[in-house]
Amino acid sequence: MKPIRKWLFLILISGFLIFVLAGIVAFGAYFFTSRREVSLPAWSDPIAHVETENVKPALALLPLAGTSSLEAFSQALEAGELESAYAILVFSLDLSERERVGSFLLLARRYAEAKNTAKAKLCYRQASTIATLSPVLSDFTRADAYLQVGRGLASLKEQGEAKLNYDQAYTIALHSLYLKKAHQKSILDKLVPAYEAIGESQKAEQALEQSTALDLEASDSAEAELADKDREFLLGRPGEPTLIPQEVTEAEAARREAAYNLSDYLLSTLRQPPDNLTANLAQALQTEDATKQSFYNAEPTESPMLLEKVALAWHKIRWLTIKYQVASGGYGFSLVPEWETQLAEIQSELSKAYEDLYALHSEQVIALPEADTIDQAWVEVLRQEIEVGRLGLYPNYPEEQLVTKLQEATKKLTAAGHDKSLRVDTLRQDNVYIFILTSSE
């Protein structure tokens, strides 16, 4: 009996050791996988992802005919034409930051419903980019965008990216100077099930603890709370220039009319348009281009004020963006074949126009009256410039140079004690920049 007992004892001990070892291995695997770096995809130009063959000209032409981008985008979504909506969105310049981030979120969900996973992820990532880089969005809007992006990416099996966006919302909830406690609690309460759903129980518990701590604070606290609303960009966006000659406004009106006639025909008949409607629009575009190029290259009789120069720079960017969309096939068909062969040249012109615009913004910054305002303005301008580049609107933008300038400007602002809000920081992964919001703490 003794040998049998001895063998039983050894078997039990061996089984126990194997069980413990398996537990250690399992825990180690969890520990490793839960803490390894999230592998994020390299940035890809959103405009390069326009599937021109699936864009419906009748809808894509609406902004060219004078319809607001938001209204045209809504019409395309209502018609179920997702690629037309995407083309309208990525080339738009008249959307507010709130409208742009909301449109990307809405379109991402529609792409996900249509089982177009790649396009859904692209739109979610663009919404996240705007939430991070925009200098004007309120912190609550940012946090809400991150929550929606996280949920969307989690549903597409991108748990790592989902967690990154949830972490951004968590950072805002804990460190924003502008959120009321009710808003902080709302964000944290939404994060608890969100973290749980992707297996991040520890983060869910931390969010719950922070939310509970807010409950325990006195509701009638005398602590002052700053208003959380969309911020004004210190330099603002200019209106229309005052020096536009009549021939330019007439050329714009002729182009809008030609685009309306073609779009209206396509929407009402759903048939191939007669050649004269397409030819009329092509001719109107070329006439407008010749008229505007002559205007942009002409020496002004009087030196314009700085604000007028900025307005003129924006006017040129709006026109070159239209040319860029035509040359890229972004209206769903070939309008001016000659421009299509000049795509690289048009991109270069547009890039130079943005360089000129931000050079003017630099002059505006220097002219600001107070040092702390100047430091803040530098950060805002650089964030906006990088954002426009990441949106694909600023071709071949100098990201490396801009990131270095942003880091230097942020350090200066922080060192001066003026930057007590959330700031943009950069991480480097596989030679790709990742932009995140972080606190001074």
Report the relative pairing of strands 423-429 and 432-438 from DSSP bridges.
antiparallel
Kindly report the CATH class assigned to 46-216: mainly alpha
* Cα–Cα separations (whole angstroms), residue 7 to 16, 20, 21: 14, 20, 21
For residue 131 the two structure tokens come to 């939430």
Complete DSSP assignment for 43-106:
P--GGGG--GGG--HHHHTTGGGT--HHHHHHHHHHTT-HHHHHHHHHH--S--HHHHHHHHHH
| DSSP label at residue 425 | E
309-320 pLDDT tens trace: 999 999 999 999
16-57 pLDDT tens trace: 444 434 444 443 433 333 344 566 778 889 999 999 999 999
For residue 266, give the 3-state DSSP assignment.
Answer: helix
What lies within 8 Å, CB to CB, of 174 at 6+ separation is 184, 210, 439
Mean pLDDT over 200-205 rounds to 96
Which of 78-82, 94-98, 302-306, 324-328 shows the lowest per-residue confidence on average (mean pLDDT)?
302-306
Mean pLDDT over 151-179 rounds to 96
- State the Cα–Cα distance between residues 364 and 384, nearest whole angstrom: 15
pLDDT at residue 394 tops 60: yes
pLDDT at residue 435 tops 60: yes
For residue 136 the two structure tokens come to 């004007």
Mean pLDDT rounded to a whole number for the chain: 88
pLDDT at residue 421 tops 80: no
Q: Please report how many Cα atoms fall inside a 13 Å half-sphere around the Cα of residue 239, on the Cβ side.
A: 2
Residue that the structure tokens 């004020």 belong to: 305
Phi, psi (deg, nearest 5) at residue 158: -105, 65
**Domain boundaries of the chain, sorted by first residue:** 46-216
Cross-strand pairs, 423: 438
Which of 30-34, 133-137, 203-207, 406-410 shows the lowest per-residue confidence on average (mean pLDDT)?
30-34
Q: What is the pLDDT of residue 33?
A: 39
Q: What is the pLDDT of residue 193?
A: 97
- State the Cα–Cα distance between residues 293 and 286, nearest whole angstrom: 10
